[in-house]
Structure 1
Amino acid sequence: MLEVFIQQTQAMRRHVEMLHALFKSATEGIIVVDSWGEIQLVNPKAQALFGYDEGELLGKKIETLIPQRYAKKHVDHRMNYAQQPKARSMGGNFDLKAKRKDDSEFPVEVSLSPFSTSDGDYIVSFIIDISERKKQEVALLEAHHEIQNLNADLEKRVEQRTRELARAMEELEQSKQEVMRALEKERQLNDMKTKFVTIASHEFRTPLATILSSASLIGRYVHSEEDEKRQKHVQRIKSTVNNLTEILNDFLSLGKLEEGQIRNVPVVFNLYEFCKEMVDELRSVCKENQQVQYIHTGDSEVCVDRHLLKNVLINLISNAAKYSGEGKDIFLNTAKVDSTLNIVIRDQGIGIPEQDIPYVFDRFFRAQNSGTIQGTGLGLNIVYKYVQLMNGNIHLDSKLNEGTRVSLVLPT
C-alpha cells in the first residue's frame, strides 16, 4: 500500500514538474487571475511582454495591463464573463491593446480558459504579442493600396492613351476627309474645265462663223440698192459681237468671283433714274415689239452696290428677253420698303421645267427646254453670287410655257 502511495506521489510530482516547466518555458504569455481579477500567476514570457520583474504583478488587478481608456469597460466585461465563464478568444470584432509597465501599448491576441480548484475559480489567459503580424498586415495593406494606386494610374494612362489614339484616329479621319474633299474639288474643277472647253468651243464657234459669213456676204453687196442687205448683215455682226461680249463677261466675272476680287461697296443713288437709264440701254437686246415695262414705288434713294446691282439686273432682264418670244414684254418692278429693296423681274417666256428649278443657280446648268438658245449656264450662278455679296436673297418661280418670276430682296 505504501509502495502504491509512493508511486502515485512520484507521478504527481512529475506532472507538477512538467506543468511547471511548461508554464515557465511557454512561448506565449500566461497569466492566471482569480474571480476578483487579481493576478495569481505570471509566467516569464508574460513578464517579458509587459516589462515587469518576477513577482511584481502578483496581487495586482488585471486592468493594470490594459490601457486606461479601456480599463472601466474591461471591468464590466470581466464581471459579465465571471457569470458564465467558458473558453474563448477575445477581440474577435476589434483590435486588443495591452499596456506595458512604461505605459507603451502593443497589439495582442488573448484566449481565456476558466478552471476551478478547491481554493476557488480561476481564469488563465494566453497572451500573444502580434506586433509583427500587425506590421505585416499594415505592409500588406500599404502594398495593396500601392497596387490599387498603380492600377488606377495604369487605367488613367490607358484611358489617356485611348483618348490620344481616338484623337489621332479622328485627326486621321479628318485628314482623310480633307483629302477626299480636295480630290472631289479637283474632280469638279476638271469637270468644270471640260465643260468650259466644250461650252466655249461651241459658244464661240457659232458666233464667229456667223460673223465670218456676214462679213463675206457684205463684200458682195457693192451697189447702193443693196444697202438694206448690207445693213442686215452689219446688224447680225453687231448682235453676234454682243453675244460674244456677254459670254466673255460671264467668264471674267466668274474668275473674279472665284479669286475674291469683287467686293460689295454700297453707295447712295436714285434707283428710279438708274433703272430708267438701264432699261433704255437694254432696248438693243429686246426682240421685235418687245419692251421692258418699269414701275417703282416708294422712296427712290437707296444705298446698295450700284455696279453689282446693274450686272444682276442686266443679266436677269437679258435672260427674260432671250427666253421670251417677239411681242412678249418684260416687267421690272422695284419698291423700297423701310430699309429693304424689293425687285421683281417677270417675263412671259418659255418658262423652266419644274424638275430643273432647284438647279437653275448651279454653275453651267441649263434647263432641258433651252434648246438652241445661246447661253453658258453661268449667268444665274453669277447673279446668285452677286446677290450673296450684297447680303440679299434671290428666289425664282417658273411655269412651263407661262413665264418666269425672279424676286430679289436687298438691304439698303
Structure 2
Amino acid sequence: MRLSLFWKILIGFWVAFILAVQMLWVVVAVHHDEADEVERQINWRISSAIDALRHGGPRELELILRTWPPQQTDYIKVEAVDESKVNALNNPYFPISDPKRSYESRKEKQSVYNEYVMAPDNILYHLQYDADKVRSEYLSLTDRYLFNIHEPLMFLGLFGGFIFSSFMAWNLARPLKFIRQGFARVAQGDLSVRLFPKLKRRKDEITDVARDFDHMVGRIDQLSSAREQLLHDISHELRTPLARIRIALGLAQQKSENIPQTLSRIERETERLDSLIAEVLTLARIDNDAFLEEQFFDIGLLLQAIVEDVRYESAQRDVQIHFNHDDKKECTARGNAELLHRAFENILRNALKFSTTGKSIYVSLTIENDRFVIVIRDEGPGVDEDKLDFIFEAFGRVPSSGIKDGYGLGLSITKKAVLAHNGEIRATNHPEGGLSIRVTLPIWEVNHS
C-alpha cells in the first residue's frame, strides 16, 4: 500500500503532537501533588462553612452550600447542640472552632472533621464534614482519566493536534506537488514553467529550490534555443558551398571548357566545407570533459610559438606583433595544450584580420592574483559596445567590420575552451582604438601536484 507524502507527514506530526502533549501533562502531574490539592479543597470548604455559620447562622450557610457541587453538600451535616450538654463557650468537650484557622493547623488528615461553631443567635452548632468520601470520590474520577486528563481535554487535544498536523502536512506537501508537476511539464518539453512566482511568499528553503528550478529550466531553455539556432546556422552555412558546387557542376555540364575552372571551384568549396565541419566538431567536443586531457605545459612557450607562426603572415601585410612576457618566470598551466593553442591562435588571427598595413598587435602575459592574464590587443576598427558579447557567439560575425571571411566560429571556440579550463574571457574597446581581449586562467603550482 502506497501512502502519499501528505498522509505520512500528517500522521507523523499528529503522533508527535499527541506524545508531546501527553509527556508535558505527565511531567506536570508528577510535579503536582494531587493529594495536597484535595486537602486544600477540604480545608477551604470547612473554613468557608464555619465562617458562614458563625456570621450568618444556618441561613448564610445554606447560601454558601448552594454554590458547592451537589454531591459535596451530602458530605456535610450541621445540627444544633443540646443546651443541656453545653456550658456556653467554656465547655472543654465542645471547643468552639476559629474560622481563621489555616490549613497548617490541620496537617493531620482526619476521616471526619468535627467543628463546633457559635452562631449569632447564641446557638452552638455541630458541623461534621466527611473528608474520606471526598477523597475517594476524587480518586475514583482521576482513575478514569488517561494520564489524568479529562475526556473533553483529551478529545480537544486530539482534534487540535489533527488540525495542526493537517496544516503542517498541507504546507509541506503542497509545494512538493507543484515541484513534481513542474518536473513533469519539463519532461514533456514545456520549458515555460516557472515555480518561483507561486512559492516566493514562503521565504524558506523550498523557495530557494523553486528559484533554482526556474534557473535550471531557464538555462535548459537557453541551451535548447542555442542548439536549435546553431543547427539552423550550420545548415545555412552548409547550403552556401553546396549551392556553389551545384552551380559549378551545371556550368561544366553546359561547356566542357569550364571543367578545369569547375574542378578548382569545387576543390575550394570542399575545403570550406571541411573547415566548417572541423570547427563545428571542435565546438561540440569542447563540451565533452573527455576532450580535456590532463597535460602540463608552459603557457609562455605556447604563446611564443603562436606569435612566431602568425608573424609569417603579418610580415606580408606589414603588421607588427609585439609579445611582452617575462621568460624567467615559470608559467606552468594544466589542461589541453592543443585546445588552448587553437583558442589563442583564433584571437591572434582575428586581430590580424582586422589590422591594416602599418598597424601593430600587442600580446602580453602577466600574473595577477595567482592567475595568468593574457591580453591580445589590435589597432583595428574595434566593435560596437552592444556587440562585444555577440562576437563570442557561434556564427557571430559583426556586419560593421566589412570582412566576411570565416564562419564566426573561431571566437566561440575560444570562449568555450577558456571556460572549460576554469578561465574567463572578456572583450573591450581600447581607449586608443582597436579591440582588446583579456583572458585569465588559473595557475598550476608544480609543487602541489
Task: Give the TM interval when normalised to the shorter protein.
Answer: 0.5 to 0.7
State whether structure 2 residue 202 is matched by structure 1 residue 197: no
Quote the Cα distance in structure 2 between the aligned partners of 1:111 and 1:323. 123
**Paired position in structure 2 for 1:271:** 300
**Paired position in structure 2 for 1:342:** 373
In the alignment, which of 313, 316, 322 is matched to residue 344 of structure 2? Answer: 313
**Paired position in structure 2 for 1:38:** 92
Quote the Cα distance in structure 2 between the aligned partners of 1:257 and 1:174. 33
Quote the Cα distance in structure 1 between the aligned partners of 2:369 and 2:267. 46
Q: Unaligned stretches of 5+ in structure 2?
A: 1-74, 192-216, 444-449
Say whether the 8 Å CA contact 1:397–1:406 is kept in structure 2.
yes
The amino acid that maps onto 2:176 is E
For residue 338 of structure 1, report the CA deviation from its aligned partner: 8.5
Of structures 1 and 2, the one scoring higher in RCO (CA 8 A, sep 6+) is 2
Quote the Cα distance in structure 2 between the aligned partners of 1:316 and 1:194. 26
Quote the Cα distance in structure 1 between the aligned partners of 2:270 and 2:264. 11
In the alignment, which of 202, 206, 213 is matched to residue 240 of structure 2? Answer: 206
Say whether the 8 Å CA contact 1:276–1:294 is kept in structure 2.
no
* TM-score, normalization by structure 2: 0.55
Deviations 1:170-193 (A, max 9, x none): 222333444566633665565345
For residue 235 of structure 1, report the CA deviation from its aligned partner: 10
State whether structure 2 residue 333 is matched by structure 1 residue 333: no
Quote the Cα distance in structure 2 between the aligned partners of 1:402 and 1:130. 108
Quote the Cα distance in structure 1 between the aligned partners of 2:440 and 2:226. 30
Q: Unaligned stretches of 5+ in structure 1?
A: 1-25, 41-60, 63-76, 82-89, 224-229
* TM-score, normalization by structure 1: 0.59
Quote the Cα distance in structure 1 between the aligned partners of 2:380 and 2:113. 110
Deviations 1:303-361 (A, max 9, x none): 22322321220222233234445665433222356853221111233422222334544
State whether structure 2 residue 177 is matched by structure 1 residue 172: yes
**Paired position in structure 2 for 1:351:** 382
SS in 1 for 2:429: strand
In the alignment, which of 268, 278, 296 is matched to residue 249 of structure 1? Answer: 278
**Paired position in structure 2 for 1:68:** none
Q: Which has the larger radius of gyration?
A: 1
- Of Structure 1 and Structure 2, the greater strand share is in 1
**Paired position in structure 1 for 2:434:** 403
Deviations 1:37-70 (A, max 9, x none): 6335xxxxxxxxxxxxxxxxxxxx57xxxxxxxx
Q: 1:194 to 1:128 in 2, by over 3 A?
A: same
Quote the Cα distance in structure 2 between the aligned partners of 1:386 and 1:36. 116
Q: 1:269 to 1:194 in 2, by over 3 A?
A: closer
State whether structure 2 residue 323 is matched by structure 1 residue 295: yes
For residue 386 of structure 1, report the CA deviation from its aligned partner: 2.1
SS in 1 for 2:428: strand
Q: 1:248 to 1:327 in 2, by over 3 A?
A: farther
Identity of matched residues, %: 20
Say whether the 8 Å CA contact 2:110–2:131 is kept in structure 1.
no
Quote the Cα distance in structure 2 between the aligned partners of 1:277 and 1:375. 23
For residue 301 of structure 1, report the CA deviation from its aligned partner: 3.9
State whether structure 2 residue 56 is matched by structure 1 residue 28: no
For residue 133 of structure 1, report the CA deviation from its aligned partner: 5.2
Q: 1:314 to 1:108 in 2, by over 3 A?
A: farther
For residue 200 of structure 1, report the CA deviation from its aligned partner: 1.4
| Count of aligned pairs between the two proteins | 323
Quote the Cα distance in structure 1 between the aligned partners of 2:368 and 2:432. 32
**Paired position in structure 1 for 2:32:** none
Say whether the 8 Å CA contact 1:96–1:109 is kept in structure 2.
no
Q: 1:27 to 1:261 in 2, by over 3 A?
A: closer
Say whether the 8 Å CA contact 1:396–1:404 is kept in structure 2.
yes
**Paired position in structure 2 for 1:383:** 414
Say whether the 8 Å CA contact 1:98–1:108 is kept in structure 2.
no
